[in-house]
């Protein structure tokens, strides 16, 4: 299908966004921690990349990808970020289904807990109720890299965590070599540090049972940050949830298994019966 031209700008003068499609229903996409590593301006290439990524949703949905403000205060919590997105939904979008990816999945859980009136359905993608204990050391190391401005190394580490097979070997190597020509350029380097701190501190295990919107928990069983046991724990404690598990997939399951991922999400948002788990 032809990909429509996306709209870009800043909601309330502080939330960079891309809007694409004109479907009758709305999906709000909350991005992951990598959102803190770009300059906060969706140029034409970035906006078209968003449009292509969600092209299979555009007949049924209007898709908003909404970034967080630049210059996050020290001590910003996932709860405070969820309150920001509640403001976005109330004032600038409308009640919508929410697709939270990685860190965005944490924000989505908190948003659905605090403001179920704004969330039709929730997709928690490559995320769970808390970070796996064994990955805390990894994130702390990446935070230290952020203090030192080692953005190419941070990107390379995330690429290794995301992919499998030849991609896991090739993509980090490319990031460290040809990728040095265009390293990540965060508008405010502290945003990455504060985002890492918010992820490290977040734990929703005591609130899962009170999250009202129907939820899809979807990810890879070999995700180093949110592995199978975390995904299952999250699913099992939610009162109305579905689980989709990709065998052998890591943190980038939403990209590496994109067609199947999109199928799961679209069927879930449409309210169709669950298929067998992947």
Predicted local distance difference test score (pLDDT) of residue 274? 43
The percentage of the chain sitting over the pLDDT mark of 90, rounded to a whole number, equals 86
Position 277 pLDDT exceeds 50: no
What is the average per-residue pLDDT within 49-70? 94
- What pLDDT digit, counting tens, does each position of 97-126 carry? 999 999 999 999 999 999 999 999 999 999
- pLDDT grade, residue 1 (50/70/90)? low
Architecture of domain 7-135+203-270: 3-Layer(aba) Sandwich (3.40)
Q: What is the mean pLDDT of the chain?
A: 94
> Cα dihedral angle (186, 188, 192, 193), rounded to 10 degrees?
150
SS (H, E, C) 79-148: HHHHHHHHHHHHHCCCCEEEEEECHHHHHHHHHHHHCHHHEEEEEEECCCCECCHHHHHHHHHHHHHHHC
- What pLDDT digit, counting tens, does each position of 240-250 carry? 999 999 999 99
- pLDDT grade, residue 179 (50/70/90)? confident
If phi > 0 it is left, if psi is from -120 to 50 it is alpha, else beta; for residue 34 that is: alpha
Position 278 pLDDT exceeds 60: no
Position 266 pLDDT exceeds 70: yes
């Amino acid at each position: 299908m032809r990909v429509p031209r996306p709209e870009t700008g800043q909601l309330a003068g502080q939330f960079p966004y891309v809007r694409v499609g004109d479907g009758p229903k709305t999906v709000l996409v909350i991005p992951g921690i990598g959102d803190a590593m770009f300059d906060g301006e969706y140029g034409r290439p970035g906006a078209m990349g968003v449009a292509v990524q969600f092209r299979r949703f555009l007949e049924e949905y209007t898709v908003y990808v909404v970034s967080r403000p630049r210059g996050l205060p020290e001590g910003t919590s996932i709860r405070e970020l969820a309150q920001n997105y509640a403001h976005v939904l109330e004032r600038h979008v409308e009640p919508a289904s929410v697709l939270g990816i990685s860190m965005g999945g944490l924000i989505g859980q908190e948003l659905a807990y605090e403001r179920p009136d704004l969330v039709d359905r929730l997709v928690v993608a490559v995320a769970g109720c808390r970070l796996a204990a064994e990955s805390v050391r990894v994130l702390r190391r990446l935070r230290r890299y952020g203090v030192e401005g080692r953005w190419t190394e941070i990107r390379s580490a995330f690429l290794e965590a995301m992919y499998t097979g030849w991609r896991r070997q090739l993509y980090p190597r490319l990031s460290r070599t040809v990728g040095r020509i265009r390293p990540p350029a965060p508008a405010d380097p502290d945003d990455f540090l504060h985002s890492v701190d918010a992820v490290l501190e977040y734990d929703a295990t005591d609130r899962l049972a009170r999250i009202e919107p129907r939820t899809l928990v979807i990810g890879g069983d070999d995700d180093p940050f949110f592995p199978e046991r975390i995904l299952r724990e999250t699913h099992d404690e939610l009162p109305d949830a579905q689980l989709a598990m990709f065998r052998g997939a890591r943190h980038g399951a939403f990209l590496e298994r994109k067609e199947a991922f999109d199928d799961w999400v679209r069927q879930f948002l449409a309210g169709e019966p669950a298929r067998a788990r992947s």
